[in-house]
């Protein structure tokens, strides 16, 4: 497993061992991996009053702040932070955020028109998705300064903070590997293998975070934002400055890179599947006669678009690794078997959604399996694909992410014909916490309408 992590191959390696040994595999002396959909509820689901939650495995989050943040806090503190953040993710907040998101998407489309050379010049569309999503989340969390974004779209470059995000993901991944080694070897492993530039980047991010959070504490925005309640908790002594910083950085990272990954993956899959691409173009371009008609709710009525997004999330989930949980004191039953306390159990998000045990033709990209148009896929266990995880600790930004994905993809398809300009297989990627992606070069030809 350490080697698999080291080579960035965990999602695929775990998929292969499940293909070989079946739906339950012992992946390490104290660790079980499951790919039956029922285990989503058993491992990650809400528990009855008299049952304990399966807490997060500390080894999996060993590189995170020692001061717990939403991702690694124990049950009651997690519930507290989640409630503080929940209002920023409500239906009402999403409605309030829509005009801001639309403004950023308008800027994206305008900038792409400027950059694409009328379809003659190639652009790295993945970078532009990242610019958009970092700008938007930077604005929503007012992490930068009052009412500002990271300005990635206008400058066409990633802000320092976001530019080194991938170093942080690598550092976390190396910590995950070291947690699997005997304790004496861990510090040696980290010294030997965490490259110097990653250590430097981690320090740079820490200094930047301190500066930005300090700035946010001194400047109170007139409009409530994601950070509002966190700042209140800090001011009333219920959250340390490290936790405030850690939660803020998590929101930026979780709220941008994941959605940008999915949009890039979907773009690539469309380029590789012309039939699907044509059908999607047809749906978007016949349904909307003007880009202003494309809203979060009207895009939500485009059934084929929704099918394409679900299928991309299945084939290429942005968070593909297993999220390990620990069997609580007293033990628990999983898959009909009693497991002793302390056992690490997980569902590998990539393997479960790409297994022939759950899907017909799992390797094929076929959105019709979600729209119900093709009877060949009626036996698919759709509930096995849970790219946002499941239960009380599932993704808080799920609705926001869907809104972003639908709006951006519908607008892009409405405005441009997209052609591939990337050599090789873009999806041949390694995973260090997140997929390590190369540039995704495409040519964008503005659609001419009479
Ligand atoms: C396609 C896009 C996205 C995917 C696939 C995704 C996936 C996930 C997954 C798998 C988790 C669980 C992590 C774990 O258990 O360790 C998670 C948690 C989280 N995500 Fe997302 N995410 C996406 C977009 C977003 C967005 C847009 C936001 C908004 C800021 C966001 C905020 C969060 C937060 C705050 C958590 C922690 C929730 C908790 O621990 O209670 N995510 N996400």
Q: How far apart are CA 314 and CA 298, in angstroms?
A: 23
pLDDT, tens digit (0-9, with 9 covering 90-100), for 154-208: 888 877 776 677 777 888 888 888 888 888 888 888 888 777 777 788 777 777 7
Q: Cite the annotated binding site for heme by residue number.
A: 395
Contact call for residues 70 and 83 (beta carbons, < 8 A): no
Among 138-152, 307-321, 419-433, the range scoring the smallest mean pLDDT is: 138-152
Q: Return the ligand 1 atom nearest residue 85 CA.
A: 35
User: What's the rounded mean pLDDT across residues 282-308?
Assistant: 97
The answer to whether the CB of 396 is under 6 A from ligand 1 is yes
Share of the chain above pLDDT 70, in %: 95
pLDDT, tens digit (0-9, with 9 covering 90-100), for 30-39: 999 999 999 9
Contact call for residues 72 and 61 (beta carbons, < 8 A): yes
Residue 276, pLDDT score: 98
Arch. (CATH architecture) of 2-446: Orthogonal Bundle (1.10)
Identify any residues that bridge with 333 across adjacent strands, giving them in sequence order: 338
The answer to whether the CB of 107 is under 6 A from ligand 1 is no
Mutate to test the pocket of ligand 1, among 76, 252, 257, 258 (most ligand atoms within 8 A of CB): 258
Compute the distance from residue 250 Cα to the ligand 1 centre, in Å.
9
Residue 147, pLDDT score: 42
Q: Cite the annotated binding site by residue number.
A: 395
Vertex 349: Cα angle to 344 and 350 (nearest 5): 125
Residue 61, pLDDT score: 73
Most confident of 189-198, 225-234, 261-270: 261-270
Mean pLDDT across the chain, nearest whole number?
90
pLDDT, tens digit (0-9, with 9 covering 90-100), for 387-411: 999 999 999 999 999 999 999 999 9
Q: Of all protein residues, whose CA lies closest to atom 32 belonging to ligand 1? A: 397
Q: Which residue matches tokens 């540039």?
A: 439
Please say if the pLDDT value at position 422 is more than 90. Answer: yes
Please say if the pLDDT value at position 97 is more than 80. Answer: yes
For residue 314, give the nearest of 360, 277, 274 by alpha carbon: 360
Compute the distance from residue 349 Cα to the ligand 1 centre, in Å.
13
pLDDT, tens digit (0-9, with 9 covering 90-100), for 10-21: 999 999 999 999
What are φ and ψ of residue 246, in 5° steps? -65, -45
The answer to whether the CB of 401 is under 6 A from ligand 1 is yes
The answer to whether the CB of 395 is under 6 A from ligand 1 is yes
Among 221-230, 262-271, 342-351, the range scoring the smallest mean pLDDT is: 221-230
pLDDT, tens digit (0-9, with 9 covering 90-100), for 355-392: 999 999 999 999 999 999 999 999 999 999 999 999 99
Please say if the pLDDT value at position 217 is more than 80. Answer: no
Residues 6 or more apart whose CB falls under 8 angstroms from that of 447 comprise 285, 414, 415, 416, 417
Q: How far apart are CA 203 and CA 200, in angstroms?
A: 5
248 versus 121: which is more confidently predicted?
Answer: 121
Domain-wise residue ranges, the chain:
2-446
């Amino acid at each position: 497993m350490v080697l698999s992590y080291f080579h960035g191959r965990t999602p695929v390696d775990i998929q292969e061992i499940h293909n070989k040994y079946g739906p339950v595999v012992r992946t390490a002396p104290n660790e079980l991996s499951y790919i039956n959909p029922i285990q989503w509820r058993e491992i990650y689901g809400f528990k009855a009053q008299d049952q304990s939650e399966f807490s997060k495995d500390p080894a999996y989050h060993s590189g995170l702040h020692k001061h717990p943040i939403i991702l690694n806090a124990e049950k009651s503190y997690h519930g507290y932070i989640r409630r503080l953040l929940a209002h920023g993710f409500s239906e009402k907040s999403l409605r309030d955020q829509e005009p801001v998101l639309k403004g950023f998407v308008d800027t994206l489309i305008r900038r792409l028109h400027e950059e694409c050379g009328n379809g003659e010049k190639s652009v790295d569309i993945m970078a532009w998705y990242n610019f958009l999503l970092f700008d938007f989340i930077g604005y929503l969390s007012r992490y930068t300064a009052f009412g500002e974004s990271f300005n990635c779209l206008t400058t066409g470059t990633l802000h320092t903070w976001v530019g080194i995000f991938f170093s942080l993901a690598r550092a976390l991944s190396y910590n995950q590997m070291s947690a699997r080694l005997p304790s004496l070897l861990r510090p040696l492993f980290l010294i030997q293998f965490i490259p110097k530039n990653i250590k430097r980047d981690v320090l740079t991010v820490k200094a930047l975070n301190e500066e930005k959070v300090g700035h946010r504490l001194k400047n109170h925005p007139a409009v409530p934002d994601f950070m509002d309640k966190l700042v209140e908790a800090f001011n009333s002594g219920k959250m340390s400055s490290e936790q405030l910083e850690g939660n803020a950085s998590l929101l930026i990272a979780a709220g941008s890179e994941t959605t940008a990954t999915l949009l890039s993956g979907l773009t690539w899959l469309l380029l590789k599947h012309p039939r699907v691409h044509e059908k999607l173009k047809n749906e978007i371009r016949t349904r909307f006669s003007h880009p202003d008609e494309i809203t979060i709710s009207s895009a939500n009525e485009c059934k084929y678009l929704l099918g394409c997004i679900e299928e991309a999330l299945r084939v290429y989930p942005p968070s593909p690794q297993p999220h390990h949980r620990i069997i609580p004191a007293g033990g628990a039953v999983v898959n009909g078997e009693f497991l002793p306390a302390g056992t690490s159990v997980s569902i590998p998000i990539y393997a479960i959604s790409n297994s022939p045990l759950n899907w017909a033709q799992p390797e094929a990209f076929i959105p019709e399996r979600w729209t119900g148009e093709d009877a060949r896929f009626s036996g698919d266990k759709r509930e096995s694909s849970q790219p946002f995880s499941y239960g009380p600790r599932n993704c808080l930004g799920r609705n926001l992410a869907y809104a972003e994905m639908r709006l951006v993809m519908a607008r892009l398809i409405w405005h441009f014909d997209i052609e591939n300009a990337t050599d090789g297989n873009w999806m041949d990627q390694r995973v260090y916490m997140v997929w390590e992606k190369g540039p995704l070069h495409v040519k964008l030809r503005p659609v001419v309408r009479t």
